[in-house]
Amino acid sequence: MNCSAEKASRKWAYGAFGRTAAAMVTVAVGLLLPGVFCEPALAAKASRSTPWGDLFGIHPPKPRAKVHRAAVPLPRPRPADAPSAEELAKETAKETTKEGKPTEQATPQPPPPSACRLALTEAIAIAPSIPDIRGAGGCGGEDLVRLEAIVLPDKRQVSVKPAAILRCAMASALADWIRTDIAPLAVRLGSTISDLDNFDSFECRGRNRIVGARLSEHGRANALDVRALKLSNGRSISLTDRSVPREVREAVLHTACARFSTVLGPGSDWYHEDHIHLDLMERRNNYRICQWDVWDPLPQTAPLLPAERPEEAPPREVAAKPDAAKPDAAKSAAGKSSAAPADEKSDAATSKPEPKPTTKKRRQNRRS
């Protein structure tokens, strides 16, 4: 394209006016073109500078849906003849039966008594029931009683001092043992049994009171330690005393081992030298333990000092003084010498004393 000045005059035939108009058109086009190209860029830049325009209400809000309110039904009006709140409270607090006696509020009923509890009546033992014990480490138990006394067939009572807290099964076995075996034994000894010395019953502890040991049957209220049996004539039969006749202790041993699953006494360990342990521990195959050595009586030793002289003994004879006895001895010797014959005197005068045998002196040991 040739844009020389010479040909320009040919295009614009109107002279100076035509050149001026062409320049004005060129200037107007030059001013409009930058605006056309810059307007989209400015719009994009403005959109990038305000990304949250939609959130802050730049655009007109959308119309909301119409809210439908649900109709809530109101309660019925209180009738005029309805009782007041105070009357309702009184009626619930004091409900009356048909007989007109007040009844207690509903409470959880205790479980029915066990077969052992029904069998252990007051004709056998004075053993009121006590609540179950739930202790730490499995201590305690169910169906517990406080054994206070055992009733013999002739209605006499054998007091348990102090009262023992036991399971019903253990209390029943102990009552049968006293009624069937120990009471006839006391009759053979010429008296009747009156007291049972309870050394220990329920106690939440380990075996032999060792810290950390396995739970004892005493902790389960399933054991009793017996120290002695007291008779009505005042005699006390200590089961571990060697002075008690051996036949009596052996009789108690045989009857106890036949009724209880565990019997521990002297000879079992160092913890049962002064009492007898009885329990009903359950083991496999009904295994039983009976460890009680009936020791023989200790030998009789002579007293260290002589016995005192009784008051009714006759007085002792006083020995004569030695000085007073010498003149009498000299007189008797003189009389005998005068009565002796003369020939005996001559023989005594002529006889020479026999020489004493010579003895050699032993040499002392210098090393001694």
Which pLDDT belongs to residue 76?
Answer: 83
Contact 266, 291 (CB under 8 A): no
| CA separation for the pair 15, 8 (Å, rounded) | 10
Lowest-confidence segment of 73-87, 137-151, 299-313, 325-339 by average pLDDT: 325-339
- Write down how long the chain is: 368
Q: What is the mean pLDDT of residues 123-132?
A: 95
- What residue has token string 């006889």? 351
pLDDT over 50 (residue 210): yes
Which pLDDT belongs to residue 347?
Answer: 47
Output the six-digit token pair for 276: 């007898």
More confident residue, 136 or 367: 136
Q: What is the mean pLDDT of residues 102-129?
A: 83
pLDDT over 90 (residue 309): no
pLDDT over 70 (residue 221): yes
pLDDT over 90 (residue 220): yes
Give Rg (Cα) of the chain: 63
pLDDT tens, residue by residue, 160-206: 999 999 999 999 999 999 999 999 999 999 999 999 999 999 999 98
DSSP 174-234: HHHHIIIIIHHHHHHTTS-EEEEEEEE-----BGGG-TTPPBPTTTTT-EEEEEEEEETTS
Taking the chain, what is the end-to-end CA distance rounded to the nearest angstrom? 163
Q: What is the mean pLDDT of residues 128-143?
A: 90
pTM over 0.75: no
pLDDT over 60 (residue 50): no
Kindly report whether the peptide bond that precedes residue 51 is cis, defined as omega within 30 degrees of 0.
Answer: no
pLDDT over 60 (residue 350): no
